Amino acid sequence: MSTLSRIRRRLPRSTGPRAVVPASAGVCSAGAVAAALTGHDGIATALLALLGGVIVAALLMLYRRLAKVQKAGVAAQWDLRTTVEEMQRRLVAAVERERLTAGDRHLELAEAIARVRQLTDRKAGSAQVLSLPREFEATVQLFQGFIPRAPMPSSGDFALNPTDLLELLHLIRTRRPRLVLELGSGTSSVWIAYALEKSGGRLVSLDHEPGYAYRTRAALATHGLTEIAEVRDAPLTPVGIDGRDYSWYDPEALADLHDIDFVLIDGPPAATGPDARYPALHMIEKRLADQATIVFDDAGRPDEQAALADWTQRYDGLTREGELLGRHAVLTFARPPAMATVRG
Ligand SMILES: C[S@@+](CC[C@H](N)C(=O)[O-])C[C@H]1O[C@@H](n2cnc3c(N)ncnc32)[C@H](O)[C@@H]1O
């Protein structure tokens, strides 16, 4: 309802007195004139007095009406304020509703992203399912090569896949390293130790997580392999290469190692920082034997691809062998003769 109509609604609907006053004034005036013309002065005077009374009454009515109009105006002003306040409240509520709707939309979007992630994971899962026969074949071959003295810890996920383990053990069997350095301990440490038990040689494995180091030590002890393999605690520490800071195993853990002829790079995990494994070659190069084999796990990931490209360009004697089998790459290190002399 508009403010004007509110004012109208508040005003009294008094059409009766409005018509009576001019009519009475008209009758009195006409009567007074007629009486004066016909010589009835007394009547004319009385009618004029009545006319005066009618005028006073009309003025009183006008005054009352004006007072009512003013009152209605004040009330309408109050109404207007109430209306404006009500509109403000509605506006704020509408904005709040929009804000909540936007929040809902954000939530819906986040859920949609999560669903896409799930689908992607399922795709990754289906890749895992497709690789099952290959991993099964590799597992059978692994256990044909060794009869473990206790249940083996499981492979896959954070640990090397059976396919990668099979290739790793084949390399150890055929190249017969004397000193194997493993960066990142776990199931692979037990398998490597079994292989070295047969071929001769020892394993030093570094782990930045005391909990995982402890678990690997316990597994090695259960399998009776502590003479062959040791796990060293090597917390991640800052290392600088070409002006850039990385986080890598404490070099102190390597201080007594020389002539390492086989390396498995399977740590630190990518979650510890970008290019987590890049420092490996810089940190171990001078401790390598003149001929060494390097197995680099997760070589298909972007950070590892970049590290491979940099290393093979930077180190003359470093070459990559064949195609990827499983997730790892194999590199051969042959120290250039001039460098071999310098190192000696
Ligand atoms: C890729 S894992 C090393 C796996 C090991 N070479 C193997 O094949 O069993 C690298 C590091 O991740 C940590 N790690 C092992 N298992 C893990 C798990 N399930 N979750 C998180 N970190 C893990 C350990 O500190 C380990 O040294």
Question: Following DSSP, what letter does each residue of 27-82 receive, concatenated?
Answer: HHHHHHHHHHHTT-HHHHHHHHHHHHHHHHHHHHHHHHHHHHHHHHHHHHHHHHHH
| The predicted structure's pLDDT at residue 3 | 46
- Determine how β-strand 260-265 pairs with β-strand 288-296: parallel
CA of 220 to the centre of ligand 1 (A): 15
pLDDT tens column, 117-133: 666 666 666 666 777 88
Question: Which atom of ligand 1 is nearest the CA belonging to 267?
Answer: 10
- 133: region left, alpha or beta (phi > 0 left; psi from -120 to 50 alpha): alpha
Ligand 1 binding pocket includes 209 (Cβ within 6 Å): yes
pLDDT tens column, 214-236: 999 999 999 999 999 999 999 99
Is residue 344 pLDDT above 80, yes or no?
A: no
Among protein residues, the one whose CA lies closest to atom 12 of ligand 1: 269
| The predicted structure's pLDDT at residue 50 | 87
Is residue 2 pLDDT above 60, yes or no?
A: no
| The predicted structure's pLDDT at residue 35 | 85
| The predicted structure's pLDDT at residue 117 | 67
Q: How confident is the model at residue 7 (pLDDT cuts 50, 70, 90)?
A: very low
Q: How many whole angstroms from its chain centre is CA 155?
A: 30
Neighbouring-strand partners of residue 5 = none
Ligand 1 binding pocket includes 269 (Cβ within 6 Å): yes
Among protein residues, the one whose CA lies closest to atom 11 of ligand 1: 184
pLDDT tens column, 90-101: 888 887 777 777
| The predicted structure's pLDDT at residue 16 | 56
Higher pLDDT, 14 or 288: 288
Q: How confident is the model at residue 53 (pLDDT cuts 50, 70, 90)?
A: confident
Ligand 1 binding pocket includes 212 (Cβ within 6 Å): yes
Ligand 1 binding pocket includes 177 (Cβ within 6 Å): no
Tell me which range, 39-43, 55-59, 127-131, 213-217, is most confidently predicted by mean pLDDT: 213-217
